[in-house]
Amino acid sequence: MFKNILRGIRAYSGTLKLISTLGLWKYFGVPMLISFITAIVIGISAYGLSDNIGSLISKAWVWEWGAETFRTISNIVGGIMIVALGLILYKHIVMALSAPFMSPVSEKIEAHLMGTTREHRKTSFLSQLWRGIKVNGRNLLMELFLSIPIFIISFIPVIGFISSILLFLVQSYYAGFGNMDYTLERHYGYSQSVRFVSDHRGLAIGNGMIFMLMLLIPVLGIILVLPLSVTAATTETVKTIYPSEKK
């Protein structure tokens, strides 16, 4: 799996050149706007809700002594929870709504890599949007299911630091999953795609790791994250689907 993680990471090299060579920038206008607006809405919501979450947590401390310190800690924990939840929601909302715009990009990259357009499942704008909502809705629930117990682990002394690594890997996996599915939706049904990503989880994690790190770059990160990550995911997914025909 480690080898595939490196493959997923290395796939980002040359993505800008490939996008420019194929003239794909025009396809990213709407997804970039979706990404920017979603980030602003979630950011404002997170700012407003962090204190409220902190206040709810602080009520668990019923004693007078140490109440102020616990309240401060609660606000910090509340902020972290909101940021983590915001990142999870952000990527799935953006990926779901961008599906109809990213699928044609993925198809053009595949045709370039393979030298021809292959026969594949025909899908419409609405079917691509529904597929994106279905896949990312499923991934959102799975990610929350895994993230909540991992977050609880963070409060356990000594081993708590592991939770940050686990959260990052989980978020990376599902980010990579969404990016790979823009290619998989042409080739496989829903259940087959889930199995494909599970069998090649290293690729998903590697792609998603760069995706998550890019979100740390102010403004530029949320604008470029989809173009670069989708291009990188497509190149490796196509090579994995057609292992004997890699160019």
Contacts (Cβ under 8 Å, ≥6 apart) of 58? 67, 70, 71, 74, 75
Q: What is the mean pLDDT of residues 6-25?
A: 94
End-to-end CA distance of the chain: 23
For the chain, helix, strand, coil in percent to 5 are: 80, 0, 20
| pLDDT score for 160 | 66
What average pLDDT does range 121-146 have in this prediction?
89
The predicted structure's pLDDT at residue 200: 96
Q: How far apart are CA 117 and CA 75, in angstroms?
A: 54
* Other beta carbons within 10 Å of 199: 10
**How many other CB atoms are there within 10 angstroms of residue 221's CB atom?**
17
Residue recorded with tokens 């026969």: 119
Q: Which two tokens stand for residue 75?
A: 């606000």
pLDDT of amino acid 62: 63
Q: What is the pLDDT of residue 223?
A: 87
Residue 229 token pair: 């990550």
> Which pLDDT belongs to residue 139?
95
Token pair of 219 as six digits: 């403004």
Phi, psi of 233 (to 5 degrees): -65, -40
- Structure token pair of residue 197: 């990503």
> Mean pLDDT, the chain, as a whole number?
86
In the numeric block, which tokens belong to residue 147? Answer: 């993230």
For the chain, give every domain's residue range: 2-36+87-245
pLDDT of residue 136 exceeding 70: yes
pLDDT at position 87: 83
Q: Tens digits of per-residue pLDDT, 48-69?
A: 776 667 677 666 666 767 677 7
Two tokens, residue 138? 């499923």
Residue at token pair 């963070």: 154
**Cα–Cα distance for residue pair 118/200, rounded to 1 Å:** 22
Total-model pTM? 0.86
CB neighbours of 238 closer than 8 A, spacing ≥ 6?
A: 109, 110, 113, 114, 183
Q: What is the pLDDT of residue 120?
A: 66
Q: What is the pLDDT of residues 160-180, one digit of tens each?
A: 678 888 989 999 999 999 999
Residues 92-106, mean pLDDT to the nearest whole number:
92
At residue 116 the predicted structure's pLDDT band, cuts being 50, 70 and 90, is: low
